[in-house]
């Protein structure tokens, strides 16, 4: 079974506009509202691909109804607080501006219930994805603690992935190797947060096709105890680094409609490929194909296998350039 936990879920509101001029009125040409949050999105993609999936999240009843209406198996962890709303403003050229609420305060009772529900669910898990921001009130190192909780309760060999950013990500890095998941999926900026580099500089190099520093930073994480580091690079594709080697992938040609959910789709594609026993290069191919397919869909449009363009998603083995 494919289990996801989203500690800070959201209602994703996507407003499509022709263009934004700061301080001016913009009229939406399309409005979409969907149940979201990173783990919810991952579960949605996996479920659409035929995987036995269960998404967990602390939420109110109205949010649970939204998830169920999307045909995703969902276990609600009761909380008295309404789920936050995250708003994405998508311009006609695909430029996306995101405004995320912090979310409701996580009280001790909800935190205990979340940990208990996760411990029970993962006893039958093949893969567990812990994803998204942490709500106010959550321990900053909660993800490291949750990784250990999953290790203690899941069957041996269960694949554990974490996808987060900022302080929760930095704290995860502070708890390596004992809090290490099997897979982590940062973008270039988040990768720099983990290794203490310049995020803007790393992103700029990656966008220009210069990925040597990205590979080196990912390899540093592998050496610190994370076996598989999948780095998403937006329109430049992605790279995968493990102890066995490194691979890069370029995306198929698409017209970007919205980047909301693209990274989540990439992670889902990668984990599904891992569960299918595919080789690292093929896992990376599916990660990039899924992310690209999501970016070509409107709103939090999440892809199905029929949306993938695997043929035009190209993967190469990364070869180190010898020093002179």
Catalytic residue list:
264
Strand-pair partners of 37: none
Distance CA(262)–CA(242), nearest Å, equals 22
DSSP states along 90-105: E-TTS-EEEEE-----
What SS3 string covers 18-31? CCCCCCCCCCCCEE
Distance CA(194)–CA(225), nearest Å, equals 13
Eight-state DSSP code of residue 2? E
Q: Are 289 and 248 in contact (CB under 8 A)?
A: no
| Bond from prior residue into 177 cis (ω within 30 degrees of 0) | yes
313: nearest Cα among 321, 298, 299, 296: 296
């Amino acid at each position: 079974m494919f289990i996801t936990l989203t500690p800070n879920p959201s209602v994703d509101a996507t407003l499509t506009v022709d263009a934004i001029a700061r301080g001016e009125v913009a009229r939406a040409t399309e409005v979409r509202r969907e149940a979201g949050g990173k783990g919810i999105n991952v579960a949605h993609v996996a479920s659409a691909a035929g995987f036995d999936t269960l998404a967990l999240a602390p939420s109110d009843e109205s949010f649970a109804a939204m998830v169920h209406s999307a045909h995703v198996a969902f276990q609600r962890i009761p909380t008295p607080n309404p789920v936050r709303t995250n708003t994405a403003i998508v311009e006609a050229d695909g430029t996306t501006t995101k405004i995320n609420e912090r979310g409701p305060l996580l009280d001790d009772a909800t935190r205990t219930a979340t940990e208990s529900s996760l411990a029970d669910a993962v006893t039958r898990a093949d893969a567990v994805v812990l994803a998204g921001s942490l709500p106010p009130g959550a321990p900053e190192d909660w993800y490291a603690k949750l990784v250990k909780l999953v290790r203690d309760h899941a069957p041996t060999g269960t694949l554990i992935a974490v996808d987060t950013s900022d302080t929760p990500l930095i704290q995860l890095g502070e708890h390596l190797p004992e809090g290490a998941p099997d897979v982590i999926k940062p973008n270039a900026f988040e990768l720099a947060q983990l290794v203490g580099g310049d995020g803007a500089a790393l992103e700029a190099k990656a966008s220009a096709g210069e990925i040597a520093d990205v590979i080196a930073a990912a390899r540093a994480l592998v050496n610190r105890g994370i076996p598989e580091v999948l780095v998403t690079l937006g329109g430049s594709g992605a790279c995968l680094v493990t102890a066995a080697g490194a691979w890069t992938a370029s995306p198929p040609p698409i017209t970007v409609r919205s980047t909301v959910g693209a990274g989540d789709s990439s992670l889902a594609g990668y984990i599904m490929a891992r569960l299918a026993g595919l080789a690292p290069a093929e896992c990376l191919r599916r990660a990039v194909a899924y992310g690209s397919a999501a970016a070509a869909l409107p709103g939090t449009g999440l892809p199905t296998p029929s949306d993938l363009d695997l043929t035009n998603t190209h993967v190469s083995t990364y070869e180190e350039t010898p020093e002179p």
